[in-house]
Chain A
Amino acid sequence: MIAVIDYKAGNLTSVVKALRYLGAETQVTQDPEIVRQAAKVVLPGVGHFQSTQLLTDLGITEAVREGVAKGVWFLGVCVGLQWLFEGSTEAPGTAGLGHFAGVCERFPAEYESAELKSPHVGWNSLEQIRSDSKLLQGVEPGGFVYYTHSWRAPLVSATASVTNYGGAFTGVVERENVMGVQFHPEKSSAVGLRVLKNFVEL
């Protein structure tokens, strides 16, 4: 059973729909106990980092911390990936899980003397795919996925693939049982479904 955390993220329905399409059993929940007992946990997300404050308020942050320490598979999507880091300049008062080091920052308004539009919206490619990534098995370098975000996670040793927009940022992060994708696999056609399928089949 995959516990999908409901903290009113806009893409909750789409993420659940995609997981069920792939044959996964899912339970949408706000209950830290259910999160503690789940074999796998998915944290959807889109929108403002501030919304993740609810996770701490509900006791879910603690439940996830305990879960991942004992090996529960965890996948964060979009803001769900950002939450795995220490925080985001989008909401400096809201702490992330801090599983990965670093703080998420806004795209710069300019890059290499050219205007950089923000949000970064659309299909961009996954590059430098780490061959040992469980999440990206079967995904070719250059495969396209759908992004929509204005903040991005820094590059870390656990970065499993990067995407280039105003420089390279972490498109996928993965260390053992803890994973995150900045793009929206539930909206990324065949490549996105492949990533979710890889998670479902872990």
Chain B
Amino acid sequence: MLTKRIIACLDVRDGRVVKGIQFVDIIDAGDPAELAHRHAAAGADEIVLLDITATHEGRGTLIDTVKRTASELFVPFTVGGGIRSAKDAALVFDAGADKVSINSSAIARPELIGEIGGSFGAQAVIVAIDARRAAGAADPVGEAEVFVSGGRKATGLRVIEWAREAEQRGAGEILLTSMDTDGMRNGFDCELTARVSAAVQIPVIASGGAGSAAHFAEVFGRGRADAALAASIFHFGVTDSRELKAELQRAGIPVRLPC
């Protein structure tokens, strides 16, 4: 049976893992390569490294960090941040990434999705969407809006429509981050995740708000997520993936155990 994936996310700035609270406050959480290996050993199904400074400061992705992290890492490894062209993506794949995650650059030039997919396969392209509910709208979830540049810029695009377009253009997965719940540890935005998951046929990774095993169970159940991503919950020893999975298994969620 296909299991629900637990993905450990490393937000990296200047070669260090950091974690923001609602995209702003930054706390130093360690070395990316070391943490990636620790997460994999602790049962994470997948590792994502997001260079959170790349877009707005115009820096390239941290190829050396990617190389160091990918070395002897035998679980899927995704890299995002600052990938603006198929050539940028190629550098990241050469450094050892299995997938790239693109966000602002896909909004700026949606053809990029097909360009990377054409060369490396659809399975290698994750389109990341930073979403905020449309407060005050008749349907705040259905009208949720896409934001870019680390959540600083509204695009006017609706999340559900953009997810559908990304799929049509050849994305292999959608990484959906709720800016409303991110960093709060109060749970994922299950309504939004379920709406996006129902709107597309490709897998949806839920992100933003993980604080407990119950939150994961919720987003895999009512949120219809195929995978869920978290960063801070793992970094500070709240729990590890194996512990989390054991709890999910008790809740009837299929997970990779033993791992």
Contact = CB atoms under 8 A, between A and B. Distances in A.
A pairs with B: yes
B2 A46 contact: no
Given A144-B259, A188-B74, A123 B201 contact: no
A83 to B, nearest CB: 15
B106 to A, nearest CB: 18
Given A119-B123, A146-B76, A148-B172, A109 B1 contact: no
A121 B172 contact: yes
Interface stretch (B91-99, B148-156, B177-185): B91-99
A13 B123 CA distance: 16
Interface of B: 1-5, 40, 45, 70-72, 74-76, 93-94, 96, 98, 120-124, 172-173, 201-203, 226-227, 256, 259
B203 A13 contact: no
A189 B259 contact: yes
A187 B72 CA distance: 10
Interface string A1-32: 00000000011011001100100000000000
Give the one of A124, A144, A192, A193 with max B CB within 10 A.
A144
Contacts of B74: 18, 21, 186-190, 192-193
A13 B5 contact: no
B45 A123 contact: yes
Main secondary structure of the interface of B (DSSP, over half): loop
Contacts of A10: 93, 98, 120-121, 124
B1 A164 contact: yes
Interface string A122-166: 111100000000000000000010101110000000000000110
Contacts of A146: 45, 75-76
A106 B86 CA distance: 27
B202 to A, nearest CB: 7
Given A11-B98, A17-B96, A121 B75 contact: no
14 contacts: A10-B120, A13-B94, A13-B96, A18-B74, A47-B123, A47-B124, A121-B203, A123-B45, A144-B3, A144-B259, A148-B172, A184-B76, A189-B75, A193-B74
B3 A122 contact: yes
Interface in A34-55: 46-48
Contact of A122 (B2, B70, B72): B2
Contacts of B259: 144, 189
B121 A123 contact: no
A119 B122 contact: yes
Contacts of B203: 117, 119, 121-122
B202 A118 contact: yes
Give the one of B71, B72, B74, B256 with max A CB within 10 A.
B74
A189 B77 CA distance: 12
Contacts of A47: 120-124
A189 B94 CA distance: 20
Contacts of B173: 121
Give the one of A122, A125, A192 with max B CB within 10 A.
A122
Nearest to B93: A10
Contacts of B227: 122
Contacts of B3: 122-124, 144
Contacts of B40: 189
Given A146-B75, A193-B74, A109 B201 contact: yes
Contacts of A13: 93-94, 96
Give the one of B70, B98, B173 with max A CB within 10 A.
B98
Interface in A97-120: 109, 115, 117-120
B183 to A, nearest CB: 26
B72 A119 contact: no
A192 B73 CA distance: 12
Contact of A118 (B5, B71, B120, B201): B201
A148 to B, nearest CB: 4
A40 to B, nearest CB: 20
Nearest to A11: B98
B73 to A, nearest CB: 9
Contacts of A118: 201-202
